[in-house]
Amino acid sequence: PPSNLEQMIHEQNANLEVFAREIITIATPTPEELTAQNKHLKNCRAICKRVCPEGELVPFGSLVTGFAITKSDLDAILTSPYSEDLFSIPDEDDESNSLPHNLAKEFQAEGFEVTLLLRTRVPIMKLALKATDENSFDLNCDIGFNNDLGVHNTRMLQTYSRCDPRVKEMVLFIKWWAKKRHINSTYRGTLSSYGYVLMIIHFLINVVDPPVLINLQNILIPEDVPPDQIFDEDGEGEHQIWYAKDIENLPKTTNQMHIGQLLHSFFEYYSYRFQWGREVISIRTQGGILSKQEKGWVAAVTRPGRSGHTQVKDRYLFTIEDPFETSHNVGRTCNASGVDRIRTEFKRAVNVIRIRDGGNSMRELLCQE
């Protein structure tokens, strides 16, 4: 017979499961919202074509992975097969005649609110458009320039999501929780949604037993794969971009846990087992963990950014290795107080889940704004 303790944990997980299902339903964008986003995308694509006929506006991020929660931004990049130099961010002198500036003018003329962030690690143009009669949903869109790693990692996240429905369910819940608890803001010293997704994938491959996911980057590369599909160069270095895509032939998981159990265990792992000060999450690596020491990710450094005159600060307080661009710490946006707040939130979640009042406090407090 189950002990009292087991019985108690069973109840906590069952309550969390019911609550999580409710949140996931609320968080999932309606078909109308998704249709509206696609309409926005088409419109933006047409405007880009006018300024840059050879360019292609390619969506990535949550709209493509299916990890979008309601009111998500739209992420896209403008790529071009030949005119590399068109996209390079020129010197300050003739900046006003660059492609980003010409695009900005065109979008402004169409009524968009436009912000150019050309000094960031990845230069982007932010677009905002209020809902109208034609499209009853607001648009918030980030357009990047010729940086297609985001497209590759988006496809891998999408592949992981296709492996098991619990991936998307956990992502939607955790994104909702992180947004409500204000620990999902790269501008305010905490972590991107992408970072939370990598935390979840690490947990599902390497922590939970038996695993829910198989490491798709750690399978023997078949011999008939051409080299350009294994490695990719972006001028800053070489990235291994191969991962297993024919998931139908992979063994199925034997893990039967429901998302109440998985979420409880996820919160516990990052509260009490993960060593924030010493460990690096690395989903491409067997076991999923590297040390900060072996990556040389110890002291913060300031280095020149992609576009010459910018400065990028690399922090290593919370470290998540990008699965393709392995020199990039996805957690670099986290400052000291941000990491503290994130860790405090994980512990708070565990405490709230464990309150013994039939899940009432959990329902009220866990995702409280």
Residues that bind Mg ion (CB under 5 A): 61-62, 73, 75
Check the CA dihedral 149-333-16-6 and report its sign: positive
Q: 173: closest CA among 45, 27, 49? A: 27
Give the shortest CB-73-to-Mg ion separation in angstroms: 5
Under 8 Å between Cβ of 284 and 321: yes
Taking the C-alpha atoms of residue 52 and residue 90, their distance in angstroms, rounded to an integer, is 17
Secondary element (H or E) of residue 21: helix 4-27
- 150 touches which of ligand CTP, Mg ion, none (CB within 5 to 8 A by kind)? ligand CTP
**Tokens in use for 65?**
């992975």
SS3 137: coil
Which one of 12, 37, 47, 75 is in contact with ligand CTP (CB under 6 A)?
75
Using rule CB under 6 A, residue 73 touches ligand CTP: yes
Q: What is the DSSP string of 24-51?
A: HHHHSPPHHHHHHHHHHHHHHHHHHHHH
Closest CA to 297 of 336, 330, 341, 338: 330
Region binding ligand CTP by CB under 6 A among candidate stretches 123-131, 188-196, 279-287, 290-298? 188-196
**Which tokens belong to 44?**
């933006």
Cα angle 59, 128, 169; round to 5: 50
Backbone angles phi, psi at 225, to 5 degrees: -85, 125
Measured from the CB atom, is 192 or 217 closer to ligand CTP? 192
169: contact with ligand CTP by CB under 6 A:
no
Q: Which is nearer to ligand CTP, 157 or 362 (CB)?
A: 157
Q: How far is the CB of 96 from Mg ion (least distance, A)?
A: 28
Give exposure, 277-303, as e/b (b: 16+ Cβ within 10 Å). eeebbbbbbeebbbebeebebeeeeee
Which of Mg ion, ligand CTP, none sits in contact with 107, Cβ below 5 to 8 A by type?
A: none
The correct pick among 13, 37, 62, 282 for binding ligand CTP (CB under 6 A) is 62
Least distance (Å) between residue 63 CB and Mg ion: 8
Contact segment (CB under 6 A) with ligand CTP among 192-200, 260-268, 285-293, 334-342 equals: 192-200
Residue 67 binds ligand CTP, judged by CB under 6 A: yes
Q: Which of 41, 44, 68, 129 binds ligand CTP (CB under 6 A)?
A: 68
**Nearest residue to 74 (alpha-carbon basis) of 43, 53, 111, 120:** 43
Report the C-alpha gap between 357 and 46 in whole angstroms. 55
Which of 107, 194, 203, 243 is close enough to bind ligand CTP by CB under 6 A? 194
Residue number of the CB atom closest to Mg ion: 61
> Binders of ligand CTP: how many residues, by CB under 6 A?
17
By CB under 6 A, name the one of 55, 59, 123, 150 that touches ligand CTP. 150
Q: Which residues bind ligand CTP (CB under 6 A)?
A: 60-62, 67-68, 72-73, 75, 149-150, 153-154, 157, 192-194, 330
